[in-house]
Chain A
């Protein structure tokens, strides 16, 4: 079961907008007394692309996300910028021959660009992780947000590649991979390790991460509203750099800045 489907109606509270691929749900609701667009990628058993039928982010999803986000930017060009909330349970990008042939990288780039441009245009963009947030799928749907919020639940997972494929590519067994992941925080598959990297703004404990209660919905909506206020007028990703296990990222930027000015 896709968790985004379970969370979306309660969080957004409106009707899904027409005009998007069936694997996207786009709902305009409100948040913190402003308009908010909630967006999810969901399974579509009839997806014309068979490798994208279980909620993966593929060609239609990438280009469709770009459409959903850039239309909101265009509609708010001269008015208050609505919040944009990516509700995230994406198991992976679509792995398939059709996808490569037709340029899935470009479709995902479209989604990335739309979210980034929304952020730069002054929209508060929030990524809400209710389930899996894997690799290219997460890059395309949520990773450009000013704030990332994750449910503190074993079913919430962020990673660059599934275990079997990652083991094959790095020439290890799955057991060896798991042993290393237990010691190397950026390689780990659990949320606590991910949180130690400093990329999450908040972790939220809810009663039922799969099928939320009304109290869960209220709690998450309150947190989303906090995020909108916390974002204020900031439009970049700089809040992610303070993590315990990101000291090298900071050090590189500091030294680069010193050398840049003299060069």
Chain B
């Protein structure tokens, strides 16, 4: 196929909403949503603050099949409150992963896929969002011992805050070049550390350090794929069959690498980070 023909046939994943994304990843016809919008489990906290809640609280949970294997998909809707994790949405993800763990324990192998578009804790539900994220993290670690948990950050919101830590716990992490992955959002760093440390308006700098391609080139994610539904699904299915690098278990390697930076770590540009982290096997 010529490049033009390929472009014409390509279907963007980034442009899809959470529900369409979950459907697009699962085997055709296998998508079954749980706690959908008609169950109307909404945030009890947003209306008190003059904010209109959403009937699914911005999280879509679906059971289905991935190349024939049992799977649960949790998809965060980046378009609702920045994909932030509140009590209900957080409990939906944690609860779904907990049920997958139970199924595995009962001899029903079930893997999980997390479609992450989130700024982290929903500040309007602060401590309940934080608690829910701790429970999501606990469930990822436990489920991983049974079956793969694959995180996908497609963009355009990216994955930040406590949920970036959750991403770091996944068996495998897949991104596109539209994705960003980092703990602290640029505005928060600028607020806390000053504009000299991090200029939230300096988009080239921010993307160069936290964008999907950079994270892949630095070995902090497993794969970076073009924004194309078929390409993403294909790579996702491959990752399910690959062993996890257990990145979060590589403390010895990372501590040794960080020690090489010396007593006063300089500011690093993207190329320096790639050089520092790539090359030798973890």
Chain A residues at the B interface, C-beta cutoff of 8 Å = 21, 46, 48-51, 59-60, 63-64, 66-67, 70, 92-93, 95-110, 112-114, 116-117, 119-120, 135-136, 138-140, 143-144, 158-162, 164-166, 168-170, 180, 183-188, 194, 197, 199, 236-237, 240, 245-249, 251-253, 255-257, 259-260, 263
Interface residues in B, total, Cβ within 8 A: 87
Count how many pairs of residues, one from A and one from B, have CB atoms less than 8 Å apart in the complex. 270
B135 adjacent to chain A (CB < 8 Å): yes
Q: Which residue of A lies closest to B44 (CB)?
A: A248
Selecting from B4-12, B16-24, B163-171, B235-243, the interface stretch reads B163-171
CB-CB under 8 A from A247, the residues of chain B are: 44
| Residue contact B91 to A96, C-beta cutoff 8 Å | no
- In Å, the complex CA distance between A263 and B276 comes to 47
| Residue contact B131 to A109, C-beta cutoff 8 Å | no
- In Å, the complex CA distance between A99 and B128 comes to 26
Min CB distance A142 to B, Å, is 9
CB-CB under 8 A from B218, the residues of chain A are: 103
Task: Tell me the chain B residues, 124-168 only, with Cβ under 8 Å from chain A.
Answer: 124-135, 137-138, 141-142, 145, 161-162, 164-168
- In Å, the complex CA distance between A98 and B191 comes to 16
B278 adjacent to chain A (CB < 8 Å): no
* Other-chain contact of A116, B87, B127, B133, B137 (Cβ < 8 Å): B137
Min CB distance A159 to B, Å, is 6
Q: Return 6 A-B CB contacts under 8 Å, by A number.
A: A100-B183, A107-B254, A116-B138, A159-B127, A169-B187, A263-B32
| Residue contact B168 to A105, C-beta cutoff 8 Å | yes
CB-CB under 8 A from A67, the residues of chain B are: 251-252, 255
CB-CB under 8 A from B167, the residues of chain A are: 105, 109
CB-CB under 8 A from A101, the residues of chain B are: 209-210, 267-268, 270, 273
B192 adjacent to chain A (CB < 8 Å): yes
B61 adjacent to chain A (CB < 8 Å): yes
Q: Using A95-B189, A165-B192, A180-B49 as known contacts, say yes or no to A105 and B181 having CB atoms under 8 A apart.
A: yes
Task: Tell me the chain B residues, 52-73 only, with Cβ under 8 Å from chain A.
Answer: 61, 63
Min CB distance B251 to A, Å, is 4
* Other-chain contact of A160, B121, B249, B254, B258 (Cβ < 8 Å): B121
| Residue contact B127 to A197, C-beta cutoff 8 Å | yes
- In Å, the complex CA distance between A175 and B200 comes to 24
Q: Using A101-B209, A110-B248 as known contacts, say yes or no to A96 and B193 having CB atoms under 8 A apart.
A: yes
| Residue contact A109 to B128, C-beta cutoff 8 Å | no
| Residue contact A96 to B197, C-beta cutoff 8 Å | yes
CB-CB under 8 A from A96, the residues of chain B are: 189, 193, 197-198
| Residue contact A49 to B96, C-beta cutoff 8 Å | no
| Residue contact A106 to B248, C-beta cutoff 8 Å | yes
CB-CB under 8 A from A197, the residues of chain B are: 127-128, 131
| Residue contact B137 to A112, C-beta cutoff 8 Å | yes
Chain A CB count within 10 A is highest, among B49, B87, B96, B251, for B251
B280 adjacent to chain A (CB < 8 Å): no
| Residue contact B130 to A48, C-beta cutoff 8 Å | no
- In Å, the complex CA distance between A256 and B90 comes to 13
Min CB distance B96 to A, Å, is 6
| Residue contact B133 to A102, C-beta cutoff 8 Å | no
B203 adjacent to chain A (CB < 8 Å): no
| Residue contact B183 to A112, C-beta cutoff 8 Å | no
Top 5 A-B residue pairs of the complex, sorted by shortest distance between their CB atoms: A109-B168, A105-B164, A252-B91, A116-B141, A95-B192
CB-CB under 8 A from B184, the residues of chain A are: 93, 95, 99-100, 104, 136
CB-CB under 8 A from B128, the residues of chain A are: 186, 197, 245-246, 249
Q: Which residue of A lies closest to B191 (CB)?
A: A165
Q: Using A107-B254, A143-B134, A237-B134 as known contacts, say yes or no to A136 and B161 having CB atoms under 8 A apart.
A: yes
| Residue contact B192 to A99, C-beta cutoff 8 Å | no
Min CB distance A144 to B, Å, is 6
CB-CB under 8 A from B44, the residues of chain A are: 247-248
Q: Which residue of B lies closest to A120 (CB)?
A: B142
- In Å, the complex CA distance between A260 and B100 comes to 9
| Residue contact A166 to B92, C-beta cutoff 8 Å | no
CB-CB under 8 A from A60, the residues of chain B are: 255, 258
| Residue contact A70 to B251, C-beta cutoff 8 Å | yes
CB-CB under 8 A from A106, the residues of chain B are: 168, 220, 247-248, 254
* Other-chain contact of B124, A93, A162, A184, A199 (Cβ < 8 Å): A184
| Residue contact B181 to A263, C-beta cutoff 8 Å | no
* Other-chain contact of A252, B35, B137, B187, B198 (Cβ < 8 Å): B35
Q: Which residue of A lies closest to B85 (CB)?
A: A160
Q: Which residue of A lies closest to B265 (CB)?
A: A48
